[in-house]
A and B are shown apart, each in its own frame.
Chain A
Amino acid sequence: MKRLSAILLAAGLVCGGVAFAVDDPSEMLPNPAQEKRAEAIGAHLRCLVCQNESIEDSSAPLARDLRKVVREQVAAGKSDQQIMDWMTQRYGEFIRLAPTFSLSTALLWLMPLVALIAGLLIAWRTAMRRVATPSPLTDNERARLDALSGRE
């Protein structure tokens, strides 16, 4: 059993984003479309016990309870937005694995763009510098070059 779960875990790590932690098939909703929606919502909710896993990936009891809440609300016809709001009302912004864009998260969200622009700027400046042709040799230099290369 341990080996099997290790293989499943490894497979999960390789496949990435595939939810394996639904401990018990009875947790799943009978309607596959609804179940898929519940999994997508759960993948965006942080397990507050493990903190770096989503509730879909975690086996913690709290994650199990929150999965159940998500499925109940999906079955009751709540929208994704309503379910996320329900969660953030109770656990704060921290429960979102992808934080919403705000003044305090702006640096986090914009950093890839900032890094890309900075990289392009450096690349552009380097390329510009390389284009500049070296100045022609002075008479002195040419004479010295001739002397060194043995040409008279």
Chain B
Amino acid sequence: MNATRRGIITALPIVGAGVLGLGFWRILSGMRTGTFDPRAINNPQVGKPVPNFAIPGLPGLGDGFTDAELRAQTRPVLVNFFASWCIPCVQEMPGLRAISRDLPIWGVAYEDKPENASAFVKRDGTPYARVASDRHGRVAIDWGVTGVPESFLVMPGGRIVWHGSAALDPALFESEIRPHLARL
């Protein structure tokens, strides 16, 4: 066996392990800094107009809304899917109340009994400018929603420009949503 050949055979596993290690390091560091989420679902609705829908309101909280009303807005609207049975949604409420001072939030109660959703929204003061009930989750499917809470930033005219599937708080609002509002 000549020296070059021995060199190659020795180097091969080292280089292989090195490449693997680099790959793992990139994945893990991405997961830590939040730039890579292996479970993230890239919602294909981003960049598209809102889907067609018309859903009723919750008891004592107005009439619900439709895609036409959403498209007719002259200001951006944050559409937030929530449920009274969802714990991250409870955690998200104070954050949503803070965000609602900057941006109107329209809530959609997902797979929830209207009376439960209504009581949940009213309990500590509603963050929602308008709220509607997607009793059987069919509208949520058209939006590509996989769980609650999920939020969408809808621009005037009805185009979706941002989607998030984490519980919102003011810090996330500043880093992810504010830049879209500033571009207007």
Chain B interface: which of A6-14, A86-94, A131-139?
A: A86-94
**In-complex Cβ contact of B144 among A49, A65, A92 (8 A):** A92
Q: Contact between A69 and B141 (Cβ–Cβ < 8 Å)?
A: yes
- Taking CB atoms, residues of chain A closer than 8 Å to B141 are 62, 65-66, 69, 90
**In-complex Cβ contact of A65 among B41, B43, B138, B143 (8 A):** B138
A79 within 8 A of B: no
Contact flags (1/0) for A81-106 with B, using CB distance below 8 Å? 00000001111101000000000000
Q: Contact between B42 and A62 (Cβ–Cβ < 8 Å)?
A: no
Q: Contact between B41 and A92 (Cβ–Cβ < 8 Å)?
A: yes
A48 within 8 A of B: yes
Q: Contact between A65 and B44 (Cβ–Cβ < 8 Å)?
A: no
A61 within 8 A of B: yes
Q: In the complex, what distance in Å separates the CA atom of A74 from the CA atom of B146?
A: 22
- Taking CB atoms, residues of chain A closer than 8 Å to B111 are 61
Tell me how far the C-beta of A128 lies from the nearest C-beta in chain B, rounded to whole angstroms: 16
Q: Contact between B142 and A94 (Cβ–Cβ < 8 Å)?
A: no
- Taking CB atoms, residues of chain B closer than 8 Å to A61 are 111, 137
Contact flags (1/0) for B32-51 with A, using CB distance below 8 Å? 00000001011111000000
Q: Contact between A90 and B136 (Cβ–Cβ < 8 Å)?
A: no
Q: Contact between A65 and B42 (Cβ–Cβ < 8 Å)?
A: no
Given contacts A61-B137, A65-B136, contact A94 B144 (CB under 8 A): no
Q: Which residues of A contact B (CB under 8 A)?
A: 48-49, 51, 61-62, 65-66, 69, 88-92, 94
Beyond the given pairs A62-B146, A66-B141, 17 more chain A to chain B contacts, judged by CB atoms under 8 angstroms and listed by A's residue number, are A48-B146, A49-B146, A61-B137, A62-B137, A65-B136, A65-B137, A65-B141, A90-B141, A90-B142, A90-B144, A91-B43, A91-B44, A92-B41, A92-B44, A92-B144, A94-B41, A94-B42
A-B contact pairs, 13 of them (CB 8 A): A48-B146, A61-B111, A62-B146, A65-B137, A66-B141, A69-B141, A90-B142, A90-B144, A91-B41, A91-B44, A92-B41, A94-B41, A94-B42
